[in-house]
Amino acid sequence: MYNGEQRISAPTCPYLLRCLLLYHFLVKMQLSLWTIMLNN
């Protein structure tokens, strides 16, 4: 049972991490765009 759980969660972990990194990058880009727009 535990082995099956591990096998299922193994591929999803890097995928989640990648999504998180992408989301973080998008948020940072959005914030920088906001600051540029506010400064102008």
Domain ranges in the chain are 1-40
Gap between the Cα atoms of 35 and 40, Å rounded: 9
In this structure, is the dihedral angle defined by the CA atoms of residues 27, 32, 34 and 35, taken in order, positive or negative?
Answer: positive
Q: Residue 15 has what pLDDT?
A: 82
- The model's pTM is 0.52
40: confidence class by pLDDT, cuts 50, 70, 90: confident
The tokens describing 19, both together, are: 């999504």
Q: How far apart are the first and last CA of the chain?
A: 58
Q: What percent of the chain is modeled with pLDDT above 70?
A: 70
Gap between the Cα atoms of 40 and 34, Å rounded: 10
23 pLDDT above the threshold of 80: yes
